[in-house]
Amino acid sequence: MSKHRHKDSEDIDETLEERTEEPIEEAEEEKQSDTIPVKKEEWERLRSSLARINTEYYELQKDFDNQRVRALEAIRQARVDGLKDALMTIFPALDHFKKAKSMVQDKNALKGIDMIEKSLLSSLDDLKVHKIASIGEQFNPALHNAVLMQESDKPSGTIIEELESGYMYDDKVLKYSQVVVAK
């Protein structure tokens, strides 16, 4: 077995010697023959062509990045629109809690209604949907819709009653508060 290995190593040594016997001068000649002489005009044409291709590449990359940003914005807007559509069906039910609480006499039932309302509002909060503050606040047409104006001992423009709650998603109004404002 060891003889076999010795014979193989001798073959490898012979092969290596054959490869290294190639003159260095021949290798240098091959290296020089790999380069192609190019006229100055041709060189400039190739250089400008490369510059044009690079410019086109960078423009395509910018277009791709812009399209990606637009697509992400469209997805975000579709989510907001879907959330708004779903919430618009829930908001009237939330307004009914106020009416139900005014009609219920039983304290335990009232506590249950309050718990359900707080749970729903907490779920909305998790979705980044917040109730718009109204009563006692200054009327703001960007947040409130004045349904009535009444005489009051409060300063003019102060919201004295909320008929329907308003809601916001982040900084966007989903539903305006329907309010009564002091004259």
pLDDT in tens, 144-156: 999 999 998 999 9
The pLDDT assigned to 183 comes to 86
Q: Where are the alpha helices (DSSP H) in the chain?
A: 2-20, 24-34, 40-103, 107-126
Give the pLDDT of residue 52.
94
Instruction: Tell me how far apart the alpha carbons of residues 6 and 20 are, in angstroms, rounded to a whole number.
Output: 21
The closest alpha carbon to 163, from 110, 102, 85, 83, belongs to 102
Residue 3 confidence (pLDDT) = 47
Tell the CATH topology of 129-183.
Answer: Nucleotide Exchange Factor Grpe; Chain A, domain 2 (2.30.22)
pLDDT digits (tens, 9 = 90+) for 100-131: 888 888 889 999 999 999 999 999 999 899 99
Low-confidence ranges of the chain (pLDDT < 70): 1-35
- Residue 88, token pair as written in the block: 């618009």
Query: pTM score, two decimals?
Result: 0.59
| 137 within 8 A of 92, measured Cβ to Cβ | no
